[in-house]
Amino acid sequence: MLRHCGFCGSRGIFQSRTDFLHSEAGMSVVRRAAALLTLSRGATTALCSNRKSARQLLRMPASSKTHAAGFSIASTLCSVPFIQHNENLSHESLIRRASCLLTDSANTYLSQTTLALSDALTLYTTALHTLIALQKRYLNSIGKLTPAEEDSIWQVIIGQRVEVSERLDECTRFESSWVTAVGLCELAVEAAYNSGAEHASMALKNGLQVAQSKVQEMRELRAVAEKSLAEIKAEEIQRMAEYASSIKRQDLEDIPEAYLRED
């Protein structure tokens, strides 16, 4: 038939098809047909995929199905924002929290001042024992030293006395801070107990007792050293008086008897 139509006939058919594609209505029809074809292919692919997934899920054990369902639910829940319910903060709970913070701060201040005072008392006590040793050494050498040696040892003793005085001033300064810390801790213990924070109150009270026991122990050691120094000073005064008296008697013995007679 095409042969019968010849070249002109086939050319007419091709021309009519070309004219159809160039027309706007024809192109619109073509685009809609292409879109429908793409949509139908996507639907067919999704349907096949869903059927395949369904078959796989049916073939899974019961535990695997449970995990798969849980994962699906978890994935869904992850996309849903949760609303966190804040705790009902009453005045009592806020005061209780503040009292706990107060006990923590008071405990920190007490710890630092206790450590500083303990170190100061230790250094002061050590300085006292060093001075006591120097004083004893001097007393044992009274009348046996040359003037130069006696002057040298006295320079060392004076320097040690200056150090003892400085250490005592340091103890006084840190003890003032420690006493303030103790007062704050006592107030914090009472405030925590009254607010209902019994645990914080009891913990701070125990810490306060430990600090007071430690400082009391160091004070007793200082008192022993100070007592020893006072005793050595009293002995020094007595020994110096005896030494001076012996020098006077020796000087009187050296004076000729004629000078001692009264006219």
Chain segment 62-72, per-residue pLDDT in tens: 444 444 444 34
Please state the φ and ψ torsions of residue 256, each to the nearest 5 degrees.
-60, 145
Residue 1 corresponds to which amino acid?
Answer: M
> What is the residue extent of each domain of the chain?
91-252
Q: What is the pLDDT of residues 104-156, one digit of tens each?
A: 999 999 999 999 999 999 999 999 999 999 999 888 888 788 888 888 989 99
pLDDT at 87: 53
Alpha carbon distance 26, 195 (integer Å): 86
Neighbours of 250 (CB within 10 A): 9
Higher pLDDT, 57 or 108: 108
Tokens of 247: 């020098």
Neighbours of 169 (CB within 10 A): 12
Higher pLDDT, 79 or 23: 23
Q: Tokens 């006395």 label which residue?
A: 161
- What's the pTM value of the predicted model, to 2 decimals? 0.59
Alpha carbon distance 180, 233 (integer Å): 34
Class of domain 91-252 (CATH, top level): mainly alpha
> For the chain, give me the number of helices (H) and strands (E)?
7, 0
Q: What is the pLDDT of residues 176-230, one digit of tens each?
A: 999 999 999 999 999 999 999 999 999 999 999 999 999 999 999 999 999 999 9
Alpha carbon distance 158, 199 (integer Å): 52
